[in-house]
Amino acid sequence: QLVESGGGLVQAGGSLTLSCTASGRSFSSYGLAWFRRIPGKEIPGKEREFIGGISFKDDMTSYGDSAKGRFTISRDNAKKKVSLQMNTLKPEDTAIYYCAAEWHGVGSDHYPLYDYWGQGTQVTVSS
């Protein structure tokens, strides 16, 4: 089970850190990622936009274009937690953010690969 927290309302230019805590064992064996969804604006075949991912094997990270240079994904296996530090937020970052876990994953941008999902946390950026 994955549980996100840290969403909320922030002004444009501000920062927010999302956290996702897992229950169960073998957390370190999962690749992890953050995706987001804007209700009513989903693109068929790409309903969830990839934000960032981190590999189970070597902590290698990757980011979607909208996140590069502004967002940072990290993991703490001892705390079974994955975080997303978001800086320089823009109104277009307003969305529901989800964390996801894939067994032996590399933090892929392909959301059907993921085995587990959190319930999502709302991030709203005001202009």
3-class DSSP state for residue 45? Answer: coil
SS3 64: coil
Give me the pLDDT at residue 86, please.
98
Q: pLDDT class for 25, splitting at 50, 70, 90?
A: confident
Tally of CB atoms within 10 A around 66: 17
Strands 121-126, 8-11: parallel, antiparallel or unpaired by DSSP?
A: parallel
Mean pLDDT of 96-106: 97
Span 27-31, mean pLDDT? 96
Both tokens of 53, joined, read 């991912």
Are the beta carbons of 119 and 3 closer than 8 angstroms? yes
Per-residue pLDDT tens for 59-99? Answer: 999 999 999 999 999 999 999 999 999 999 999 999 999 99
Q: What is the pLDDT of residues 39-50, one digit of tens each?
A: 888 777 778 999
pLDDT of residue 17: 98
Q: Is the pLDDT of residue 34 over 90?
A: yes
CA distance 21 to 44: 29
